[in-house]
Structure 1
Amino acid sequence: MSKTTLIELPPSETELPYDDGVPMESARHKAQMDLLIDALIPWLSHREDGFVGGNMFVYYSLAQVRNKDFKGPDFFIVLGVPKGERKSWVVWEEGKAPDVVIELLSDSTAATDKNEKKLIYQNQMRVPEYFWYDPFNPDDWAGFSIQQRVYQPL
């Protein structure tokens, strides 16, 4: 008699939480996110691939799912993937992480966005380009590009 080995598959987009019920920090943050997304929709309409999203969870590891450590960039774009609506971005289903992430800073998120999230985007997701911007303080912005696996300022 042979033993049957069950292979546990990772959860799919439909099985994962996609909303934490927390709105954007302010109306200005929401407007900024919408502006970023809306500005790229016409550009994407001329491409055969790509996805642009904002304020939605990005899943990059099973440990993250187990720990319920949900990360939701304020804005991101991914090229080289089929067009279509998603509830969340699931890296193991899509085959890649975002190409660009932008975080909109606020008093309550700035430290996390500049440190913890920056390291996650660099080390776990390997997002090629990461930016932050404070809609209430236009002098507080920065951009980074991965060079030899480490973000370098632009």
Structure 2
Amino acid sequence: MAEFSVPLMPTDQPEMPSGELWSDEPPLESDLHRDHINRLLRLLKWHWRDRTDYYASGNLTIYYNPKQLKSRDFRGPDFFVVLGAENRSRNSWVVWEERDQYPHVIIELLSESTATVDRGLKKQLYQDLFQTPHYFWFDPYTLELAGFELVQGQYQALSPNDQGHLWCESLGLFVGIEDRSLWFFTAAGDRVLLPEEAAAQQAQAAAQRAETERQRADRAEAQRAEAEAQVAQLLAQLQQQQQGEQGFEHP
């Protein structure tokens, strides 16, 4: 297993945290990177709005070695999901305080300054130490998308489907590109909606139902009016016939 942190010198004393550690992440590379992270978080949280058994975050430090806090060679992933975790707010993810749980899914957004590390050292770290079942990287500028699944301790590249999407078994969703952005897609191929998109879709569906009901009511009213007109016509004909018969009997 590759070593990814610098050991403390024998004279150093391990710095154990006195409380919850704060994230120590550098600023994001660009607005585009931040927008992608926020979108992925909003998509998953809305899609899993009825679930409480996971934790998802982005650009948040993962502390994984309580004896080597001084040597944080690897910062937090751009986006990660831990399954079977308490869904609550955190300042960081501290592995030894979270039942030694590591992320089940990690997505890194490539940039000129991070691409080499994301494709190399971080991939090795997530495979060997984190043992993260699914790892993806995406370049928001070149649209390079790659995904890997941990098989017997080694990452195997995921094969895209006909739409170019990569299946993530941990999420039960596809990861794919639409309109130059990274999205989640259901097993049926439908793009996961943002909350405002879902609200707009629901409002449109409600409006369509209301319009359908209005048209049904209009048709029912038209049929009622037509039936009443036919009845009135028949009554008029009957009355006219009766008057004719009376006139014939009494000249």
Runs of 4+ in 1 over 2 A off after TM superposition: 8-13
Which digits, 9 at most, give the CA deviation of each residue in 1:107-149, with x for residues without a partner?
Answer: 11000000011011111111110000000011x1110000010
Provide the rounded CA distance (Å) in 2 between the counterparts of 1:9 and 1:108: 30
Provide the rounded CA distance (Å) in 1 between the counterparts of 2:15 and 2:116: 35
Q: Residue 53 of structure 2 aligns to which amino acid in structure 1?
A: D
* Partner residue, 1:5: none
Q: Residue 32 of structure 2 aligns to which amino acid in structure 1?
A: R
The one of 133, 146, 155 aligned to 1:142: 146
* Partner residue, 2:28: 24
The one of 68, 72, 80 aligned to 1:68: 72
Higher RCO (C-alpha under 8 Å, 6+ residues apart): 1
* Deviates most, 25-34 or 39-48: 39-48
Aligned length: 144
Which digits, 9 at most, give the CA deviation of each residue in 1:36-73, with x for residues without a partner?
Answer: 11101112321131111000101122355232334210
Residue 88 in structure 1 maps to residue 92 in structure 2: yes
Q: Residue 28 of structure 2 aligns to which amino acid in structure 1?
A: M
* Partner residue, 1:48: 52
TM-score of the superposed pair, with normalisation by structure 2: 0.54
- Structure 1 residues 91 and 100: alpha-carbon distance in aligned structure 2, compared to 1, 3 A threshold: same
The one of 81, 102, 116 aligned to 1:97: 102
Offset of 1:9 from its aligned partner? 9.4
- Structure 1 residues 97 and 59: alpha-carbon distance in aligned structure 2, compared to 1, 3 A threshold: same
CA contact (8 A) 2:52 2:87 kept: yes
Question: What CA RMSD, in Å, does the superposition of the two structures yield over aligned residues?
Answer: 1.9
Larger radius of gyration: 2
Provide the rounded CA distance (Å) in 2 between the counterparts of 1:24 and 1:132: 15
* Partner residue, 1:4: none
CA contact (8 A) 1:75 1:102 kept: yes
Where is the strand percentage greater, Structure 1 or Structure 2? Answer: 1
- Structure 1 residues 52 and 111: alpha-carbon distance in aligned structure 2, compared to 1, 3 A threshold: same
TM-score of the superposed pair, with normalisation by structure 1: 0.86
Where is the helix percentage greater, Structure 1 or Structure 2? Answer: 2
Residue 38 in structure 1 maps to residue 42 in structure 2: yes
Offset of 1:33 from its aligned partner? 0.6
